[in-house]
Amino acid sequence: MGSAAAPWKSLLLSALESNAQITHSRFLHLATIGGNGRPSNRTVVFRGFEEGTDGIRIYTDSRSRKIEELKTCPFAEISWYFTESWEQFRISGRIEVVDASCLDATKFKKRAEAWSSISPKSRMQYLGPSPNLPYIAEQPAKEPVLDSCSGPVDAFCLLVLDPDQVDYLNLKSAERKLFKAIPCLGRETLWESERINP
């Protein structure tokens, strides 16, 4: 999934640091391919990098439309704009879905750790009604209860975007670079970069 030395990663970490005081700097747009072949876009929250990799972590509800879209076509692109530093990142790659059905012990553990990292209020969102279904005005008679000691609920899902191309644009300096992963079997990902016109 890459290495900590990916040349675009230092640019992204720097942008996150210089925009840290702005709450919305952790929000990015995730585009997938819908079942009708059209782009499907939404705003999600950056949850950090997979340890020791370039993988970008996102948490979502396994009942959401994006999960079905990713199961049909695992390729996606994120668009991220930092308003303070005037930097844009478009990062594309393949997304791995780690849900309740995951049998890989390491990935299952990472999902559990992700669950424990979010607030109780955020956890409660995964007990609500299924996304994309018609709204029913009547409230349930009893609020759902969440055991603080239990692991992730079935609806909680960890997504990991494994980047293979990064398009970086700095509007202040009018600098644009394109980073592309070079496939290397059995080794860390190598990256080539090229400066291109903004």
Q: What is the pLDDT along the chain (198 residues), one digit of tens a residue?
A: 444 469 999 999 999 999 999 999 999 999 999 999 999 999 999 999 999 899 999 999 999 999 999 999 999 999 999 999 999 999 999 999 999 999 999 999 999 999 999 998 899 889 888 888 888 877 665 566 666 667 899 999 999 999 999 999 999 999 999 999 998 877 778 999 999 999
CB 50 within 8 A of CB 57: yes
Q: How far apart are CA 92 and CA 106, in angstroms?
A: 24
CB 145 within 8 A of CB 161: no
CB 126 within 8 A of CB 63: no
Question: Tell me: the pLDDT tens digits for 112-143?
Answer: 999 999 998 899 889 888 888 888 877 665 56
Which domains, from first to last, does the chain contain? 7-100+158-196 (2.30.110.10)
Question: Tell me: the pLDDT tens digits for 172-181?
Answer: 999 999 999 9
State the chain's mean pLDDT as an integer.
Answer: 91
Q: How many CA atoms lie within 13 A of 102 on its CB side?
A: 22
The reported pTM is 0.89
Cβ-based neighbours of 79, under 8 Å, separated by 6 or more: 28, 29, 31, 88, 89, 90
